[in-house]
Each structure stands twice: as structure tokens, then as C-alpha cells.
Structure 1
Amino acid sequence: MKRFIIAALAVTMLTACKNETSEKSVKKEDEKGKTLSPINDSILGQSVIYEANIRQYSPEGTFNEFTKDIPQLKELGVKVIWLMPVYPISSVKRKAADGRFAEEIEDPKEREKILGSYYAISDYTGINPEFGTLEDFQELVKTAHGNGMYVILDWVANHTGWDHVWIEEHPEFYTKNENGEIIDPINPDTGESWGWTDVADLNYDNKELWTEMRKDMRYWVEEQNIDGFRCDVAGEVPTEFWESAVEEMKQVKPIFMLAESEDKDLFEKAFDMGYNWEGHHILNAIAQGKQNAKDLSDYMKKIDTTYQEDDYLMNFVTNHDENSWNGTVNERMGNAAEVMTALSFTLPGMPLIYSGQEYDMQKRLRFFEKDTIPHQQNKFWPILSKLGTLKNESPALDGSKTEAGYSTIKNSDEDVIFSFKRQQNDDEVIFIGNLSDRKKEFNIDLEGQFIDYMNNEKVFVIEKNQKFQFSPWEYKILIIQ
């Protein structure tokens, strides 16, 4: 533990992680001619993932502008970059914010503003010219690899845009109604449309579709050297398809697969990580006074019994869906935003940073039109930097298939005070937080002398039966001195 404490006391110095490389794995060349180990569980265990919204990341909305900032993402502990869909967007039934299609808007200037949903794809192996060229994309990947980061692409296997070539050449790939007309996706629970009218539903009863979809996925791994995929509405696509696709791609090289799903069956052979949607909703509810620390403790017990030991989830306080449709971090979490962010880094799993979160973004990004995130570092950049360093450096926060231990620490007010320990071998990280908007006095089943990690590394002493008073939403991250 002593070696980690030395690193923690010098948080401005980010040390390079030395990761094991599989004997079967090939290595990738970075821009300096060095090598980057193929993505593996050892690396993923102490990683932060960054969701890059290229369109809204900069005023220009291009690959090149994002690429310039890749080196500084290392300050936040980022090791995986997830790019929202980079493919051409369908011009047919291109959706606007008010639900209309662009072609229904008479004013050409207003119509031109409608860029459509990233998830209405017209070509799975193309590049959206809005973002730049294939060469620009390749430079982004090369720069990420040169900075020790991996790149995964958003993959939308459930549906395509209405001008995808398959609409004309392979209409049998699509779901049709009783009149033989291709339809948009249907909610299986209600039998009604999800409302995703700008996309056409794919029918996985057709095994030729499986072959074509696997071929398109493999292209990005084999030809463009990407490191995996985040898969949109993964649970709506047959698990057997994902398993076959992953098996084929792993013949090329190791990959990382993230499912937009909590379905544990997806993790058996296809996916490495899923979304922690339920945990996220509990954090929102606690911040809004609708649930409490005990509910979060109960949930942690639930996932411990629901998932297998090598399953893990992505923790987050925001993402593109939450921001655009449900509100900013501040809208949903208010003064609880910092403690909830700290939980996303210290609980088992991998923490997510969404474009703009690092800059304290206080607006909902437009989804179908151009917008821009702020780029002024304020409160959250240094917080995320410290949390990212801790995540990268402490084996106790290992959150993947070799996950470090998690155990609750008893306290005198478990409806409000949330306390736990993460441990791996001799490394320990302790979290204590007041998950309420009221001052709370409590004691805790813990003794010793610790480093208060977030508070300038000051010594924090806990004696038996000692009383503590935490302000609303106050928290401590402690490491053993």
C-alpha cells in the first residue's frame, strides 16, 4: 500500500500503466512507432471510458478538433474512447427535434439545420462527411493509440436509416407489416412503435443479415484497427448473433464489447460490460430525495447475487440519452452531483465521462441539430482528474473481470450514510458519504489513520465510537496511511 500512497500524494504525476500482453495477441503501432498492448482485462480493470459526441464536441464538430484534445484526456484517467456513431446519416426521414422529418420543413434554411440522429445509419462502413474524412478518422485512432487509449465505435445493429442500400437490395432483411411494408422498430412489450420513425427495423430471422452485419463489423476491426464496440439496444438483437460476431472478430484481435443493456445473458460469451441503468436511476432518485442510502446498499446486494463474478457494469451520472432527454447532471442531481460522481468511480465497475461533463456542462445538448459543449475548466475537471488518477493507480478499484472486493462498513445511520470498502490484496480504498440534503451526525465501524484523498491528502483519524458530522452530500475517500 505504501507505494500507492506515494503515488496518491503526487496526484499531478500520472504514471504509465504496465499491462500484460496476451501471447496470442498482435500489437498495434502508434504514431511514434511504439506498441500498444491489445485491449485486455488487466487494462480495463482500472480504466475510465469517455463518450465522445463528435458533432457537439467543438464548434467545428469534426474528428480533427476532437483529436487535438485526446492527449489531455489522459489527465482524467481515460483509457477507452467510445465514439458515438461516425457513419453517414440517412437523408430520408431525417428527424427534427419536433418529430417532423426534414423533408416536411419548407424553409430551406431551417431544413438545412436538421442533421438527423446518429442512430439512423445509411452506410455501416462509411464516414459521416459532417465529421471529416476517413483519413481524419484514421488519424484520430492513431492518436488515441499513441496516447495509450483504445477506441470503440457505437454500433447500431437493430435498425438502419431509410436510405440504407439494403432497403432496395435486401428488403428481406427488414421487418414488415401485414401489407408487406417495412416498418420502424416495435416495442415487444406493447406491440406498438417505439416512436423511432426515422429508422427501419431489421429482422434477424434472416441469417443472411447476420453474415452481412458481421462483415461490416469486422471491417472496422480488421481494416481500421478499432478496439471494439458499444452496441445500441443490444438486448433487442439476438444474443446468438452477438456471440457469432464477437467470435469472428476475435479471430482478428482481442476486442472490448459494451452492451447498452443489463441483460446478464449477454455477458456469457458476447459482451464484457453492460450499462448500470438501475444503479444510475437509484443515484438520481437519492439526489431527488425519492430514495436513500439503504436503497443503494440493497441494490449492491442484489447485483452481487444476480451477476456472475466476471460480469461488470458501466457506472455513470450522465450520457447522451440522459443529457438530451432527461436533463443535465445539475438538473437531475443538483448539489449531489459531486458525491454521485465519486460513487461512479469508486463502486465496482467502470466509470463513464460524457462529452461536456468534464466542463460542468449546464445545458441539454440538441440531438438532431448542431450544438457545442463548453470548454472552460471549472469545478469538475480537477475532481475528475483526481478520481481518474485514483481509478488508474489503485488496485483496490479494479472494476472488471478481476474485480477487487467490495464490502459494506456499518455505521449508525445507514438510511443516510453510505460506507464501503474496496480491497485487493493490501490495497484498500474506503468511501463514506452523506447521501442526503441534511447535516448528519454518525459513528462508523472503522478505526485507523487514513489519507483523505480528495482533501489535499490530509491525515484523517478515526477512533472507536468517534462521532462525525457530515454536511449535506459530503463524502470522504480514504486510503490507509
Structure 2
Amino acid sequence: MVNHLLRAAIVACCALYAAAASVPAHGAGADLARYQPAPYSTVQHPEWTKNASIYQLNTRQFTAAGTLRAAQQELPRLKALGTDIVWLMPVHPIGKAHRKGSLGSPYAVQDYFAINPELGTLADFKAFVAAAHGLGMYVIMDWVANHTAWDATMRTAHPEWYLKDAAGKPRPTPWFDWDDIIELDYGNPALRAYMTKAMRYWVEEAGVDGYRADAAGFVPQDFWDNAAAELRAIKPVFLLAEWESRDMHARAFDATYSWTWWDAMRLIAEGKADATSLYSYYAWNEKFYPKNAYRMLYVTNHDKNAADGTEFEVFGPAVDAAIVLSVVSDGMPMIYNGQEAGNEKRLKFFERDPIAWKASPYGVLYRDLFALKKRNTALWNGEHGATMRQVKNSAPKQVFSFVRDNGQDKVFAVFNLSGKPASVTFEDGPQRGSYREFGSGTATAIGDVATLTLAPWAWKLYVR
């Protein structure tokens, strides 16, 4: 029976092949029209994002006063640092019911159309945005769409907009320790219209330039697709998703998080993985995500700082290498407030805990790296920059090396991602050329065969 069925299948396949081969040649071109590739992503990035970096600003802790007015005074410093997009953590009033700590989480939003009085007024917020624009910078708001505070203004008027548990009561997001919030039900068209209207309001009324979408994957993708279209009908906006999904780049988001990059770097720093563990991230980034996708790279943020520890606790002696790689590899870099001051404390999340500002080599490092990214077109974001090309070396488990070259500009980057010295040889490859070493400016020629010796966790950048 098996042999008979197999023979029948082969005969059928041959008949189909013969039929296909007999299609007249003059019809082939017309038939192929429907097989023309269509772009997976239709997102058009704002022009100002092509070589931009992001600065995450935790208004509560950013200054001694903890207000928008005080933060506005620091914008020239952020401009001098070389950042372009200021991401403000949620600025809305915070719920009091089931509040965590004395001040609560800014992600427990009480009113989407208001400003938290602890931070200032609507006029203060508009002044902040206007001041940023005056410096050639852009402002995005943190948008919390998945949930609200228990005592949100909209809950009284629209209890039907919330998901319910088995007892018919509003529920927090399951599994997480998020008992200070309750989830919204995006199966309700009226909720979708309200949330989109609120997002439009801040673009139209205050001039914000986009949003960072909190827990974006917990909200249906078609909501984001529609909201993005309405926002971009107003003006070009930048949308960042706190998620790591290719589909988010199709129609809605300019950028997504790079959690897997951070996780890989942490394991390397802890000695639990070697440099080759980064290959999966960069392979997926190049082949799985659309060419125009921006992936946000960072060594810390408000979540990591509060829950996992400072970048110094997490990465230890690997922190400098992690910072440099986050800026010069394929991705849009982000710096969390305080990093430029070498902040060594976990900022409290539910209380006031101002950053202790001081001069630090990390401020200089970030400034110089951002300046390099701006002027070297090979390091620009997404399709604007050059694809990373692996440079094979004699110690791949220790040393991570690559070139980014677009014919106009070029960077050869080498990282010893281990706690041991490394002496490596690079065979003939794309690294050949004449450069200046980043930092020292020393002229350097890399020939067909080159050897480098690097201290533990050391890095080298050669720039053309």
C-alpha cells in the first residue's frame, strides 16, 4: 500500500511539473507580478531619528526639586551630551488606592489628560517641550496603555472598560507583582477611541514628538497600528515599544527593546557565557527584523536599575565595553539619567531619591561616543547605517569583532569580552584599511594580517 501511494504521489508531482513547464513564456511575466516582494514594514521614520540617541529622564529623581521646571534647566546639558530624544517617564497624576510606597509608581496612571502636580503644571510641561525644541531636541512621553490606577478617573464613568476576574472584579496584570494597577479591556471600541484621543491630545496640545509604549505587547497590535496612523497624520512621530517583537515594526513602531542583547551581555559579564553568545542576537537582528527597524540598546534603565542593580553591579568590569558596544553596534543607543555622572545607587522607585550629580569619565565617554555616532554615517540607525560584518579572529570565545562600512565611513570594533588578556590575530577581511584610533586619534593601518593584544574587558575602535 505504501509503495503504491508513493508512486501515485510521484506521478502526480511530475504531471504538475510538466503542466507548469508548459505555460507559454509570454504569460510568465504577467504571472510573476503577484510574486513581487512587498515591504514588510511601512513605517517611515522621522528624518531626525537617523542618527539619534535617547535620554531617559526620571523627573522625580532627575533634580533636587523633582519638577519639570527644574528639569528644563538641564536641557542644555543634555544637548551638550549629544542626546537627541528625551524620553520622559510618565508625567500623569498617580493613583492613591493600593499605592506602592508613599509616592506610588508613575506607571499607575490616574488621569491621562492631566499632569502630576508633584511635577508641575500643563504650562510647565509645554514649556519643557518648547525648550527642548528650541535646542533641536525632541520629547517623547511614556504611555501606559495596558492598565490604570485603581482610582483612575475613567473607572467611575466607564467600569466596562476594565477586564474582570472570576468574581467580576477588576484585576491586576496576572503573575506580576503589579497589584497597584488594574487592566484595561481592549475588546471595547470605546476604550480604544478614548486612549487614541488621549495620545493625540499631547501631540496636538503640547507638541510632543512621540511615545514610549509601556508593556506594549500586552495591548493588541491592531490598536497600536491604528493609533500610530492617527498620530502620524498629525506630524512625524517616533514610537518606541517596550517589547521585542518583529510585528511591532510592520506598521506602528519605529523602535523596540533589545532585551536579549542585555541578557547576553549580562551572562558574559558574569562569566556564564562567552562572546559567541552575542551571535544569536545579531543574526536575528539582521535576518529576522525588517531592514528599517531600530532596536534600542542600553546598559540600564529605570527597571534594570531598580530591580537588577546599577550597571556597575550588573556588568562589573565589563561595563565600559557594554556601553561602547551599545553605541557603536547596530541599534539606537539609550542612556538612563545619572549614567553620565557614574551613578552608583539604585534609585528608589516609589520615593524621592535625587541623583547625586558629579563630573565623571562616563559623561565624557558617552559624549564622545554620541559625537562619533553623529558624524560617522556607518553608525547611523537602521537602514541609514551600515550592516555589521563579522571579522573572524583567532579567539572568538573571548573577542567580538566587526566592521561597519558604507563606503563613505567605516568603523572597525574589537572587544575583549572576557576577564583574561587576549592576543588575537585577524585574517584577511573587511577590517583592512587606514584608520584613526578612537580617543587618541593615533593613525593606524590594519593590514591583511593583524594582531592585537587586549587587557581583560578592553576595547578598541578604529575609525575612518
With the shorter chain as reference, the TM-score category is: 0.7 to 0.9
More helix by share: 2
Please list the CA deviations of residues 298-320 of structure 1 after superposition, one character each: whole Å capped at 9, or x if unmatched. 32112222211111200000000
Please list the CA deviations of residues 268-289 of structure 1 after superposition, one character each: whole Å capped at 9, or x if unmatched. 0010100001011111111111
Instruction: Output the amino acid matched with 1:376.
Output: K
Structure 1 counterpart SS, 2:212: strand
Change (3 A) 1:226 1:401: farther
Structure 1 CA distance for aligned equivalents of residues 302 and 208 of structure 2: 21
Q: Tell me the residue number matched to 2:155.
A: 167
**Aligned-residue offset at 1:261:** 0.4
Would you say the 8 A contact 2:299–2:322 is kept in 1?
yes
Structure 1 CA distance for aligned equivalents of residues 176 and 432 of structure 2: 53
Instruction: Output the amino acid matched with 2:435.
Output: F
Counterpart of 2:170 (choices 176, 182, 189) is 182
Structure 2 CA distance for aligned equivalents of residues 255 and 447 of structure 1: 39
Instruction: Output the amino acid matched with 1:468.
Output: L
Q: Tell me the residue number matched to 2:54.
A: 49
Q: Tell me the residue number matched to 2:434.
A: 449
2:86 aligned with 1:81: yes
Structure 2 CA distance for aligned equivalents of residues 219 and 227 of structure 1: 12
Structure 1 counterpart SS, 2:381: coil
Q: Tell me the residue number matched to 1:128.
A: 116
**Aligned-residue offset at 1:462:** 3.0
Would you say the 8 A contact 1:44–1:400 is kept in 2?
no
**Aligned-residue offset at 1:124:** 0.4
Please list the CA deviations of residues 49-89 of structure 1 after superposition, one character each: whole Å capped at 9, or x if unmatched. 00000000111101111111111112222110000000000
Please list the CA deviations of residues 217-238 of structure 1 after superposition, one character each: whole Å capped at 9, or x if unmatched. 1000111100000000000000
**Aligned-residue offset at 1:354:** 0.2
2:137 aligned with 1:155: no
> 1:84-103 alignment to 2 at 5 Å?
84-96=89-101
Instruction: Output the amino acid matched with 1:453.
Output: F
**Aligned-residue offset at 1:382:** 0.6
Counterpart of 1:59 (choices 56, 64, 74) is 64
**Aligned-residue offset at 1:401:** 4.1
Structure 2 counterpart SS, 1:220: helix
Q: Tell me the residue number matched to 1:331.
A: 313
Q: Tell me the residue number matched to 2:3.
A: none
Would you say the 8 A contact 2:291–2:382 is kept in 1?
no
* Structure 1 segments of 4+ aligned residues over 6 angstroms from their partners: none
Counterpart of 1:214 (choices 180, 196, 200) is 196
Structure 2 CA distance for aligned equivalents of residues 62 and 262 of structure 1: 32
**Could you say which structure has the greater relative contact order, defined with CA pairs below 8 angstroms and 6 or more residues apart?**
1
Change (3 A) 1:411 1:171: same
Q: Tell me the residue number matched to 1:465.
A: 449
When the two structures are aligned, how many residues end up with a matched partner?
418
Q: Tell me the residue number matched to 2:350.
A: 368
TM-score (norm 2): 0.88
| Structure 1 segments unaligned to the other structure (5+ residues) | 1-38, 97-113, 187-192
Please list the CA deviations of residues 397-446 of structure 1 after superposition, one character each: whole Å capped at 9, or x if unmatched. 01134342211111111111111111223211111111111111111134
Q: Tell me the residue number matched to 2:41.
A: none
Structure 1 CA distance for aligned equivalents of residues 198 and 383 of structure 2: 28
| Structure 2 segments unaligned to the other structure (5+ residues) | 1-43
Q: Tell me the residue number matched to 1:349.
A: 331
**Aligned-residue offset at 1:133:** 1.3
Instruction: Output the amino acid matched with 2:100.
Output: K
Report which stretch shifted further, 203-212 or 456-465.
456-465
Structure 2 counterpart SS, 1:476: strand
Counterpart of 2:420 (choices 397, 421, 438) is 438
**Aligned-residue offset at 1:178:** 2.4
Would you say the 8 A contact 1:310–1:403 is kept in 2?
no
2:398 aligned with 1:416: yes
